[in-house]
């Protein structure tokens, strides 16, 4: 009796599944099994198939039937479809097609798998067994074999070719990648880098998260912008990395600059060596470690630098303290770590922006920023509670979370605290009234843009210099330094010194203004970039 | 145009296969006897690339070596460059490539020769099946572009063909393999790269019916090392094509 061919067997299964699967249910089933399939591929990739959950599934008859239907749906209907909506998986794990040997217990099962090896292959193995007896094709040996079928997933390649055709003629010399472009200090910095590069050659600006980027329209004229995260939202991370890396290899830009995109850090981790072999200089921007409540540091540098340290040509910092930390931590030479302070427009601001309130009036203090756990709302509360004769005006959007909500409620109950909510621009809130000080509380940071804003508005700053990159701005001549950033009493002391001597406060505010005007100008930014990129060709 | 000295040059690469090299050479002897039987002339070029002494000795002393065969010591340390060296020494009109620890069905040479000699030279002939054994056991039917559509877009994330092939020598001279040296460069999969270059330049991958490559899957294979080393294929002509340039390429033969 001749055995069924592989194709005949598959056709029989297709007919069987088609007969039990009504047309109207097919799409829904297809989606359901595409999800299951993706879960299975993930499990195979993470070597999770040996877990009890998957062992149960692979051994269970019900699940085996599900896998058969899934295979049928994916192969017959999805493969023959128009390809636009192919599920985002790369290739099926072999375990899907046939169960592990332990499952093959019944005579019927053994027959089924034996047919995978064609008769002439069995004869070939018998010949090979002359030298290599372990290849003798007995029942146990042939039952090990499963059928491997590649899944021709077109979706990643389609997106790749689309992006390549958009950028191929633009003579891209630099690719800047960031998660998104929204209102924020880092986003402003990204636009400054883009402008710098765009004045020297073709630039592509690529956002990698599936999120809105309203500031993309602010990109320097002529810059090619691509919302990759949105375009690739249905693809797996491996596929997104494959597309981005291929794009960077084929476009062969001179510089690839990562501004905080986790996907690009992963891309550098996997393929940084190849990108450099292809002639690209890899640049990353770093701003500061993050710190959890227990004091443990984390962040991009900590996660990825051990893997990419040798591939990174240049790490750019907006502040010197973090540059020095990273240089020391990863033993990097000076030319690979550079401070490039973002530029800040100071021209519209004059001494007239300074507070004109007399000491006799009730002092108002400004606090502005996102209300998050990391902003040490507990300290803000303690300071406000201790300084009942001072009015605190708190601006900023609140993060979700029980802790933030609790501190927000606590602050709202203090009679000397005004919670104003989100704000459009620092200028709009600074103009509302004459504040006597700008109070900055935080657990960690780089060099926050809001401090530059406060200095531009001639606001005396009370902040802890030892945290993150704040020391670049906060010193005894430019601010009222808080001795211990984790201690509310230190904040109260510094704030009291500030409020008690308006003349001295104004002198320091002027120094801070001049520091921003001179140290954060467009010219200093450009000059620092010129130095940082020496040797980049 | 020069006339080739033989029909087919078999280029087999050896490194540190030890006794497995002997088994592979036994298998190649079977293939050669089958080719003899149908009148296909051939030579064997054994490329010993940074091979250890034991492997070199097993290869040199193999009883299947014939007078016209060559045993060549090279220091490439790179699969692609090593193959190019072999091609440079080949005297055949066609070249068949082999790895030093695999097997082929014994009709491979004659079947592949029939396919290529009967039609356009702008084709790369592969076995109809890849049968993996050892650390993993799979049967894979290799896609034949004259029978099934392999979407070019899919080639970004999947390599549906294999590294050993039967092909006109002048094609390999025109399109040599690129080096990879994954540890140094981050680039890997010279075969995937070369195959895509072929697609980009209009060549077709076809299979010889009733043939298989039996591929020994070892826990620490080159493939595994490339995966560990996070290798990726080099920049490639296929991925630098615009939509209107696709599928119009014609091989320059």
CA distance A393 to A398: 15
The number of helices, as runs of H, and strands, as runs of E, in chain B is 8, 9
Average the pLDDT over A328-349 and give the result. Answer: 92
Render pLDDT for B133-191 as a digit per residue (tens, 0 to 9).
999 999 999 999 999 999 999 999 999 999 999 999 999 999 999 999 998 999 999 99
B243/A6 CB distance under 8 A? no
Structure-model confidence comparison of residues A110 and B135, the more confident one: B135
The predicted pLDDT at position A424 comes to: 87
In total, the C-beta contacts within 8 angstroms joining chain A to chain B are: 135
User: How far, in Å, are A188, A266, A301, B80 from residue A262 at the CA level?
Assistant: 18, 6, 11, 34
- On whether residue B1 sits in a domain, the answer given is no
User: How far, in Å, are A196, A324, A530 from residue A534 at the CA level?
Assistant: 14, 20, 6
Give the single-character DSSP code of B206.
Answer: E
Chain A residues lying within 8 Å of B184, measured CB to CB? 277
Name the residue among A96, A91, A93, A102 with its Cα closest to residue A144: A102
Cα dihedral B24, B27, B32, B33 sign: positive
User: How far, in Å, are A160, A175, A344, A404 from residue A178 at the CA level?
Assistant: 18, 10, 20, 27
CA A173 distance to own-chain centroid: 23
The model's confidence at residue A89, banded by pLDDT at 50, 70 and 90, is: very low
Q: What is the pTM of this model?
A: 0.82
Which CATH number applies to A351-519? 3.40.50.2000
User: What SS3 class is residue A45?
Assistant: helix
The predicted pLDDT at position A132 comes to: 97
φ/ψ of residue A315, rounded to 5: -115, 130
Name the residue among A427, A425, A472, A426 with its Cα closest to residue A445: A472
Name the residue among B1, B48, B26 with its Cα closest to residue B169: B1
Residue B87 reports pLDDT greater than 70: yes
Name the residue among A210, A239, A233, A263 with its Cα closest to residue A41: A239
Name all contacts of A319-323 with Cβ < 8 Å and 24+ positions apart: A319/A287, A319/A288, A319/A446, A319/A447, A319/A468, A319/A469, A319/A470, A319/A471, A319/A472, A320/A469, A320/A471, A320/A472, A321/A468, A321/A469, A321/A470, A321/A471, A321/A472, A322/A286, A322/A287, A322/A288, A322/A289, A322/A446, A322/A468, A322/A469
Does the CB of A330 have a partner CB in chain B at under 8 Å?
Answer: no
Residues 216-275 of A with CB under 8 A from B: 238-239, 242-243, 245-246, 249-250, 252, 269-275
Provide the token pair at B109: 């040479």
CA distance B98 to B10: 7
B154/A157 CB distance under 8 A? yes
Average the pLDDT over A282-295 and give the result. Answer: 94
Chain B residues lying within 8 Å of A151, measured CB to CB? 158
Residue A1 reports pLDDT greater than 60: no
Strand blocks (E) in A65-120: none
By Cβ distance, the residue of A94, A239, A276 closest to B157 is: A239
CA distance A209 to A220: 21
User: How far, in Å, are A17, A300, A306, A339, A412 from residue A303 at the CA level?
Assistant: 47, 5, 7, 21, 38
SS (H, E, C) A282-346: EEEEECCCEECCCCCEECHHHHHHHHHCCCCCEEEECCHHHHHHHHHHCCCCHHHEEECCCCCCC
B239/A83 CB distance under 8 A? no
Strand-pair partners of A439: A462
By Cβ distance, the residue of B140, B143, B242 closest to A168 is: B242
Q: Given the structure tokens 């790179």, which residue do they identify?
A: B78
Name the residue among B132, B139, B152, B243 with its Cα closest to residue B205: B152
Residue A255 reports pLDDT greater than 50: yes
The model's confidence at residue A102, banded by pLDDT at 50, 70 and 90, is: very low
Of A14-28, A89-103, A252-266, B112-126, the least confident: A89-103
- How distant is the Cα of A442 from the closest Cα of chain B, in angstroms? 39
Strand-pair partners of A337: A315
Does the CB of A167 have a partner CB in chain B at under 8 Å?
Answer: no
CA distance A438 to A419: 15
- A155-339: CATH class: alpha beta
Domain that holds residue B238: 6-245
User: What SS3 class is residue A418?
Assistant: strand
B18, B23, B137: best mutation site toward chain A, by most A Cβ within 10 Å? B137
The model's confidence at residue A348, banded by pLDDT at 50, 70 and 90, is: confident
CA distance A493 to A474: 16
By Cβ distance, the residue of A83, A132, A144 closest to B23 is: A132
A94/B143 CB distance under 8 A? no
User: How much of chain A is helix, strand and coil, in % rounded to 5?
Assistant: 50, 10, 35
Chain B residues lying within 8 Å of A245, measured CB to CB? 232
- E strand or H helix at B7, and its extent? strand B6-14
CA A43 distance to own-chain centroid: 23
Q: What is the CATH number of the domain that holds B204?
A: 3.90.550.10
Residues 105-124 of A with CB under 8 A from B: 116-118, 120-121, 124
A151/B133 CB distance under 8 A? no
The predicted pLDDT at position A362 comes to: 82
CA distance B185 to B200: 23
- How distant is the Cα of A68 from the closest Cα of chain B, in angstroms? 18
φ/ψ of residue B216, rounded to 5: -80, 115
- How distant is the Cα of B186 from the closest Cα of chain A, in angstroms? 4
A145/B137 CB distance under 8 A? yes
CA A51 distance to own-chain centroid: 30
Judge contact between A137 and A125, C-beta under 8 A: yes
Question: Where in the sequence of chain A do the CATH 3.40.50.2000 domains occur?
Answer: 155-339, 351-519
φ/ψ of residue A42, rounded to 5: -60, -45
What per-residue string of b and e applies to B3-12 under the rule 16 or more CB within 10 Å gives b? Answer: ebebbbbbbb
Give the single-character DSSP code of A429.
Answer: H
The predicted pLDDT at position A99 comes to: 32
The model's confidence at residue B218, banded by pLDDT at 50, 70 and 90, is: confident
Does the CB of A161 have a partner CB in chain B at under 8 Å?
Answer: yes
Q: What is chain A's mean pLDDT, rounded?
A: 85
A245/B231 CB distance under 8 A? no
Provide the token pair at B169: 């020598």
Provide the token pair at B148: 């099934």
CA distance A178 to A190: 8
B151/A146 CB distance under 8 A? no
Residue B249 reports pLDDT greater than 60: no
**Chain B residue closest in CA terms to A97:** B138
Render pLDDT for A356-403 as a digit per residue (tens, 0 to 9).
655 556 899 999 999 998 999 999 999 999 999 999 999 999 988 888
User: How much of chain B is helix, strand and coil, in % rounded to 5?
Assistant: 35, 25, 40
Does the CB of A6 have a partner CB in chain B at under 8 Å?
Answer: yes
Strand-pair partners of A365: A392, A437
Chain A residues lying within 8 Å of B23, measured CB to CB? 128, 131-132
Residues 6+ apart with CB under 8 A from A294: none
CA distance A349 to A528: 24
Number of domains in chain B: 1
CA A338 distance to own-chain centroid: 22
Name the residue among B44, B4, B52 with its Cα closest to residue B26: B44
Concatenated DSSP letters of B98-127 = EETT-EE-TTHHHHHHHHHHTS-SSEEEEE
- On whether residue B253 sits in a domain, the answer given is no
The predicted pLDDT at position A250 comes to: 98
A245/B232 CB distance under 8 A? yes
The predicted pLDDT at position B64 comes to: 97
The model's confidence at residue A110, banded by pLDDT at 50, 70 and 90, is: very low
Q: Given the structure tokens 């056709």, which residue do they identify?
A: A11
Provide the token pair at A393: 């005006």
Does the CB of A405 have a partner CB in chain B at under 8 Å?
Answer: no
Average the pLDDT over A244-265 and give the result. Answer: 98
- How distant is the Cα of A178 from the closest Cα of chain B, in angstroms? 23
B234/A132 CB distance under 8 A? no
**Chain B residue closest in CA terms to A98:** B138
Q: Please name the residue ranges forming H helices in A314-436.
A: 320-329, 377-386, 402-413, 426-430
The model's confidence at residue A106, banded by pLDDT at 50, 70 and 90, is: very low
CA distance B218 to A300: 36
ipTM over 0.90 threshold: yes
């Amino acid at each position: 009796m001749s055995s069924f061919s592989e194709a005949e067997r598959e056709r029989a299964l297709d007919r069987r599944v088609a007969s039990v699967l009504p047309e109207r249910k097919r799409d829904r089933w297809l989606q359901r099994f595409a999800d299951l399939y993706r879960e299975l591929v993930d499990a195979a990739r993470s070597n999770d198939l040996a877990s009890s959950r998957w062992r149960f599934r692979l051994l269970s008859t019900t699940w085996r039937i599900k896998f058969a239907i899934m295979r049928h749906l994916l192969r017959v209907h999805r493969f023959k479809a128009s390809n636009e909506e192919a599920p985002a998986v790369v290739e099926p794990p072999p375990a899907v097609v046939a169960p592990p040997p332990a499952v093959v217990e019944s005579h019927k099962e053994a027959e089924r798998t034996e047919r995978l090896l064609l008769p002439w292959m069995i004869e070939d193995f018998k010949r090979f067994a002359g030298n290599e007896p372990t290849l003798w094709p007995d029942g146990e040996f042939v039952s090990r074999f499963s059928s491997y079928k590649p899944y021709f997933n077109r979706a990643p390649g389609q997106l790749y070719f689309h992006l390549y055709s958009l950028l191929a003629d633009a003579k891209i010399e630099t690719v800047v990648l960031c998660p998104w472009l929204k209102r924020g200090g880092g986003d402003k910095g990204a636009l400054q880098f883009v402008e710098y590069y765009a004045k020297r050659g073709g630039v592509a600006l690529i956002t990698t998260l599936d999120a809105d980027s309203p500031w993309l329209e602010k990109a320097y004229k002529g810059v090619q912008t691509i919302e990759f995260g949105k375009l690739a939202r249905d693809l797996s991370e491996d596929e997104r990395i494959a597309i981005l890396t291929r794009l960077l290899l084929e476009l062969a830009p001179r510089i690839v600059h990562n501004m905080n995109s986790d996907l690009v850090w992963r891309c550098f981790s996997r393929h940084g060596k190849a990108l450099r072999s292809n002639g690209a200089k890899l640049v990353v921007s770093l701003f500061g470690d993050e710190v959890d409540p227990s004091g443990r540091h984390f962040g991009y540098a900590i996660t990825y630098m051990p893997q990419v340290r040798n591939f990174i040509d240049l790490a750019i910092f907006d502040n010197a303290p973090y540059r020095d930390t990273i240089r020391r931590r990863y033993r990097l030479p000076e030319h690979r770590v550079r401070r490039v302070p973002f530029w800040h427009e100071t021209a519209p601001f004059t001494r007239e922006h300074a507070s004109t309130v007399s000491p006799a009036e009730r002092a108002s203090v400004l606090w502005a920023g996102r209300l998050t756990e990391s902003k040490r709302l507990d300290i803000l509360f303690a300071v406000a509670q201790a300084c009942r004769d001072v009015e605190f005006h708190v601006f900023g959007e609140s993060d979700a979370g029980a802790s933030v909500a609790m501190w927000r409620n606590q602050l709202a109950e203090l009679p000397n605290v005004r919670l104003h909510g989100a704000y459009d621009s620092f200028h709009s809130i600074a103009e509302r009234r004459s504040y006597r000080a700008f109070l900055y509380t935080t657990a960690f940071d780089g060099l926050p843009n809001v401090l530059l804003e406060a200095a531009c508005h001639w606001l005396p700053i009370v902040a802890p210099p030892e945290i993150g990159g704040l020391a670049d701005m906060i010193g005894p001549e430019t601010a009222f330094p808080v001795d211990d950033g984790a201690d509310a009493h230190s904040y109260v002391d510094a704030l009291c010194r500030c409020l008690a001597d308006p003349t001295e406060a104004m002198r320091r505010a002027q120094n801070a203004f001049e520091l921003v005007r001179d140290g954060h100008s467009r010219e200093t930014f450009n000059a620092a970039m010129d130095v940082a990129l020496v040797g980049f060709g | 145009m020069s006339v080739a000295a033989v029909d087919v040059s078999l280029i087999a690469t050896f490194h540190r296969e030890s006794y497995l090299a002997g088994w592979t050479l036994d298998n190649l002897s079977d293939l050669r006897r089958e080719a003899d039987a149908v009148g296909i002339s051939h030579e064997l070029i054994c490329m010993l690339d940074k091979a250890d002494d034991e492997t070199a000795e097993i290869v040199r002393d193999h009883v299947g070596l014939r007078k016209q065969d060559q045993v060549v010591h090279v220091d490439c340390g790179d699969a692609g460059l090593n193959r190019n060296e072999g091609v440079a020494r080949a005297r055949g009109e066609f070249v068949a490539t082999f790895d030093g620890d695999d097997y082929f069905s014994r009709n491979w040479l004659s079947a592949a020769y029939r396919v290529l000699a009967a039609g356009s030279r702008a084709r790369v002939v592969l076995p109809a099946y890849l049968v993996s054994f050892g650390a993993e056991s799979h049967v894979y039917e290799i896609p034949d572009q004259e029978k099934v559509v392999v979407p070019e877009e899919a080639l970004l994330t999947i390599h549906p063909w294999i590294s050993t092939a039967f092909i006109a020598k002048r094609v390999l001279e025109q399109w040599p393999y690129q080096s990879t040296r994954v540890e140094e460069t981050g680039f890997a999969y010279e075969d995937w790269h070369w195959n895509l270059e072929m697609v980009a330049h209009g060549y077709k991958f076809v299979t010889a019916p009733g043939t298989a490559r039996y591929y020994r899957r070892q826990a620490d294979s080159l493939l595994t090392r490339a995966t560990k080393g996070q290798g990726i294929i080099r920049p490639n002509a296929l991925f630098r094509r615009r939509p209107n340039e696709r599928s119009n390429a014609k091989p320059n033969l």
